[in-house]
Amino acid sequence: MTLSLGLFLLLQLAVRAGAELVAPQNVTLITLNTNYTLSWDWHQSPGESHAVNFTVQYIGKYKLQSKKIKNWSTVCEKTSRKSCDLTPRELHYYCIYMLRVQANANGRHSDWVEKEFCPEKHAVLGPPTKVHLAPAGNDLDIFISDPLTSTNKSMKDKMSELYYYILYWEKSADTQIRTLSTSANLVTLPNLKSWTWYCVKVQSRFENKSSSFTLPHCMETKGNTPWWQIFLYFGGSVAALLLLYSCFLCYKTIKATFYPSNQLPPHLKKYLCQFPESDIPHRLTLDPESELSDKVTVCAKPTSLGIYNSPLETPLVPPSGLDSERRHTHQDSSSSGDSGVYFMGGGK
Q: How confident is the chain (348 residues) per 10-residue block, as mean pLDDT?
A: 45 49 93 97 71 94 85 94 95 96 90 95 96 91 96 94 96 86 94 91 94 95 74 86 89 79 65 58 52 55 52 49 48 46 43
Flag whether 322 is in a domain: no
134 shares a domain with 117: no
250 shares a domain with 202: no
260 shares a domain with 180: no
> Looking at 77, 101, 122, which one is the last position of a domain?
122
260 shares a domain with 215: no
52 shares a domain with 27: yes
Q: What is the pLDDT of residue 83?
A: 96
175 shares a domain with 99: no
148 shares a domain with 232: no
Q: What is the pLDDT of residue 181?
A: 96
Flag whether 317 is in a domain: no
177 shares a domain with 102: no
Q: Are 214 and 202 in contact (CB under 8 A)?
A: yes
109 shares a domain with 53: yes
pLDDT tens for each residue of 254-281: 877 877 666 666 666 666 666 555 555 5
Flag whether 341 is in a domain: no
Q: Are 112 and 100 in contact (CB under 8 A)?
A: yes
State the residue range of the domain holding 231. 226-272
pLDDT tens for each residue of 67-113: 788 899 999 999 999 999 999 999 999 999 999 999 998 888 999 99
> Looking at 122, 156, 184, which one is the last position of a domain?
122
Q: Are 189 and 200 in contact (CB under 8 A)?
A: yes
Count how many domains the chain has. Answer: 3
> Looking at 220, 236, 263, which one is the last position of a domain?
220
Q: What is the pLDDT of residue 188?
A: 95
Burial-class residue 331 by CB neighbours within 10 Å (0-12, 13-18, 19+): exposed
Flag whether 214 is in a domain: yes
Q: How many other C-beta atoms can be found within 10 angstroms of the C-beta atom of residue 326?
A: 12
Flag whether 11 is in a domain: no
136 shares a domain with 107: no
Flag whether 311 is in a domain: no
Residue 194: give its domain's CATH number. 2.60.40.10
Q: Residues 6 or more apart from 150 whose CB is under 8 A from it?
A: 33, 34, 35, 87, 90
Flag whether 96 is in a domain: yes
Strands (E), the chain: 25-32, 35-41, 53-60, 73-79, 83-85, 97-105, 108-109, 113-117, 130-136, 139-145, 163-170, 178-182, 186-189, 197-206, 209-210, 217-220
92 shares a domain with 44: yes
86 shares a domain with 171: no
Flag whether 337 is in a domain: no
